[in-house]
Chain A
Amino acid sequence: MHEASIALSLIDVASEVLREHGAARASALTVRVGAWSSVVPEALTAAFPACAAGTPLEGARLSVVTVPGVGECPVHGRVTLDVKRGLRCPACGAPTPTLLAGDELELDEIELAEPDREDL
């Protein structure tokens, strides 16, 4: 599994955002993981705390939002895909070659633990 590698990359991206905002720590972060991302949310959540130890993300609450696959059927329009059936319309079985959603692996939001100077 590569969730530890993903967790380390997540911490790098998040730390950069904290620096840009002059924040020392984050209290929470939200990640969006697509059903076609090959990342297992539970494994990422399990790997995160140890990877975050000693970083500005230490102790931050990680929420993983799973994004289902969405394809476009020529007949049925936008359809939600079942990963076990592949890129096929669930209604008629037509191929839906392009994933419109579901391949995400992104840091969505960070909750900063400390306020900006302007907020004081």
Chain B
Amino acid sequence: MTATKPRIVTVRQHILKANDHTAAENRAAFAAAGVRAINLASSPGAGKTALLERTLRDLAGQVNMAVAVGDLATENDAARLRQHGAQAEQIVTGTICHLDAAMVQAVLPRFDLAGLEVLFLENVGNLVCPSSYDLGEAARAVLISTTEGEDKPLKYPTMFNTADVVVITKMDLADAVGFDRDLCRENIDRARPGVPVIELSSLSGAGLDAWYAFVRGQGV
């Protein structure tokens, strides 16, 4: 008999299974309240907050909406969003560069879910880390702006591969920055074959009808 005999245990478990469990609880809470939760992810500055501001303004009185917004430190985004009459709660993530399901669960008691139709979960500006974390959302929208280069989908394949819709923002700037629309769409399709793509401008309003159909859960 040896004193210590190493023993190998086969585990084969998802490392984020605790997050998956909490995400399932969130998803059940949203389903029970009839809330459509939409997870928005993008690089910093891709225009998530601008798109949400426009959405809150345009759909006011038609869709009951609220926002939970993740940010490393500041309250700026929530303050911006509240100006449009909707409830916006900040999730300060500190050093964590993504929202996880537990952070979302912790903020849910601040909302009257039963009175809501759509809850936007505005993720931290980052195309890497948020891809790993299911928040319990019904749909995930990944935004890319015309100003950030057409190769983003291939640089961040996991994020784009988990998207239910890809939104190209700042189309009003497309010509000025020499945006290659066909190349961008080709790269998006390589990252996520067949994913619906919406091109829009939160400034001019072009393309917003397709976005609003997605927000309402009416397809793209």
Enumerate chain A interface residues (CB-CB to B < 8 A).
1-2, 5-6, 9-10, 12-14, 17, 21, 23, 27, 31, 36-39, 83-88, 95-97, 99, 103, 105-116, 119-120
Q: List the A residue with the shortest CB-CB distance to B6.
A: A111
With beta carbons under 8 angstroms apart, the residue of A13, A36, A85, A111 that contacts B15 is A13
With beta carbons under 8 angstroms apart, the residue of A6, A86, A109 that contacts B153 is A86
- Which residues of B are found within 8 Å of A116, using beta-carbon distances? 7
Known: A95-B193, A97-B194. A108 touches B12 (CB 8 A): yes
List the one stretch of B23-31, B135-143, B169-177, B183-191 in contact with chain A. Answer: B183-191
User: Using an 8 Å CB-CB cutoff, how does the interface string of B8-47 with A read, 1 for contact, 0 for none?
Assistant: 1111111111110000000000000000000000000000
With beta carbons under 8 angstroms apart, the residue of B6, B97, B191 that contacts A87 is B191
Closest CB pairs A-B (n = 4) = A86-B190, A2-B129, A95-B193, A38-B158
Q: A107 to B1, alpha carbons, bound, how many Å?
A: 30
Q: From DSSP, what is the main secondary structure of chain B's interface residues? A: mixed
B-side interface size class: 35 or more
Q: List the B residue with the shortest CB-CB distance to A116.
A: B7
- Which residues of A are found within 8 Å of B8, using beta-carbon distances? 109-112
- Which residues of A are found within 8 Å of B128, using beta-carbon distances? 1-2, 38
- Which residues of B are found within 8 Å of A96, using beta-carbon distances? 193
A1 and B16 form a contact (CB under 8 A): no
Enumerate chain B interface residues (CB-CB to A < 8 A).
1, 4-19, 96-98, 100, 128-129, 131-132, 153-154, 156-159, 161, 187, 189-194
Q: A67 to B161, alpha carbons, bound, how many Å?
A: 17
A21 and B9 form a contact (CB under 8 A): yes
B11 and A107 form a contact (CB under 8 A): yes
Q: Which of B19, B132, B159, B192 has the most CB of A within 10 A?
A: B132
With beta carbons under 8 angstroms apart, the residue of B11, B132, B153, B193 that contacts A105 is B132
- Which residues of A are found within 8 Å of B6, using beta-carbon distances? 27, 111-113
Name the distance in Å between B110's Cβ and chain A's nearest Cβ: 24
With beta carbons under 8 angstroms apart, the residue of A86, A99, A109, A114 that contacts B11 is A109
- Which residues of A are found within 8 Å of B161, using beta-carbon distances? 36, 87, 99, 103
